[in-house]
Structure 1
Amino acid sequence: MDISPLSTTAPAAKPAASDRAAAEKAGQEFEALMVGQMLESMFAGLEAGHAFGGGQGERTWRSFMLQEYGKAIAEAGTLGIGRMVQADVARLYGQTAEGSQG
């Protein structure tokens, strides 16, 4: 019985659906993180105001609110950062699959 650790079947030319989904998720998560950090920098100099209740509560929960804003912006896909990251991740998955053929 042959128990070879190397597969003799060549990987598909196109990335698997799971690879595409993973690349899309990575791109969207990166964009959400980056936009959230950008918003934190923008709001850093602002005092807690009366728009959201103000006071210690707003200072405490502002970072969570900005993270959610980042997620919402990333889900909308209007900036395109996630798509660029997705393309790079997908390209890297493709190179990994091609490199494992040999």
Structure 2
Amino acid sequence: MDVSALPPIPATATAARTVPDRGVAGRPADPVQRVAQEFEAMMVGQMLDSMFAGISTGGAFGGGQAEKTWRGFMLQEYGKAIAAAGSLGIGRMVQADVARLYGQQAEGTVR
């Protein structure tokens, strides 16, 4: 995967960031960008699910069936928030790779 075409990540948190064009309900207008962001959200949610699997809950403010039921939904939303921030760059890499493949298909070099 060629990551040289990806924009650089700012060195500091205070650096100016470009905000991608948003379509309906805050989702990216570009379909490739939207799918790449959804893929990143799903992947981050799965990683968080693995990370939270070993955490024991209990006591006065945790545990029980309700926590088991709702933890997956919470982790999905965490994944969406992390993907929307674009801080990991997984979505940008997927988007660049898809764009490269579409370019090769247009040129007729992909089999």
| TM-score normalised by length of structure 2 | 0.64
- Structure 1 equivalent of residue 104 of structure 2: 95
- Structure 2 equivalent of residue 45 of structure 1: 54
Change (3 A) 1:65 1:85: same
The unaligned stretches of length 5 or more in structure 2 are 1-28
Change (3 A) 1:53 1:82: same
Q: How does 1:5-44 map to 2 (within 5 A)?
A: 21-44=30-53
Q: Distance in 1 between matches of 2:33 and 2:60?
A: 35
The unaligned stretches of length 5 or more in structure 1 are 1-19
Q: Distance in 2 between matches of 1:23 and 1:50?
A: 45
**2:82 equivalent among 68, 73, 95:** 73
| TM-score normalised by length of structure 1 | 0.70
SS in 1 for 2:40: helix
CA contact (8 A) 1:36 1:67 kept: yes
- Structure 2 equivalent of residue 56 of structure 1: 65
Whichever structure has more helix as a proportion of its residues is 1
Q: Distance in 1 between matches of 2:83 and 2:92?
A: 10
Cα RMSD after superposing both structures:
2.3
CA contact (8 A) 1:36 1:69 kept: yes
Aligned length: 81
Whichever residue aligns with residue 105 of structure 2, its letter is T
Change (3 A) 1:79 1:52: farther
Structure number with bigger Rg: 1
